[in-house]
């Protein structure tokens, strides 16, 4: 069961990162998360994570 889920997630990753624009946006969002963590700014990090999650789901819409 877990291997089936992993396979589906791998396909989803490949689809997602096949779109160069999506990969660049995701990269920038992750960079913001890392910067907030480096600054030890938890509220900013949480905001950046939430922003990334919401945008990721929106980018997956077909």
**What is the full DSSP assignment across 35-48?**
HHHHTT-HHHHHHH
Q: What is the pLDDT of residues 33-52, one digit of tens each?
A: 999 999 999 999 999 999 99
By residue range, what is the domain housing residue 24?
2-60
Q: At residue 61, does pLDDT exceed 70?
A: no
More confident call, 57 vs 38: 38
How many domains in the chain?
1
Tokens matching residue 16: 């997602």
Positive/negative CA dihedral, 33, 37, 38, 41? positive
Within 13 A of 19's CA, how many CA atoms are on the CB side? 13
């Amino acid at each position: 069961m877990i291997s089936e889920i992993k396979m589906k997630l791998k396909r989803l990753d490949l689809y997602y990162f096949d779109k160069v624009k999506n990969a660049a946006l995701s990269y920038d969002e992750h960079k913001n998360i890392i910067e907030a963590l480096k600054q030890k700014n938890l509220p900013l990090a949480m905001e950046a994570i939430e922003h990334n999650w919401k945008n990721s789901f929106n980018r997956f819409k077909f």
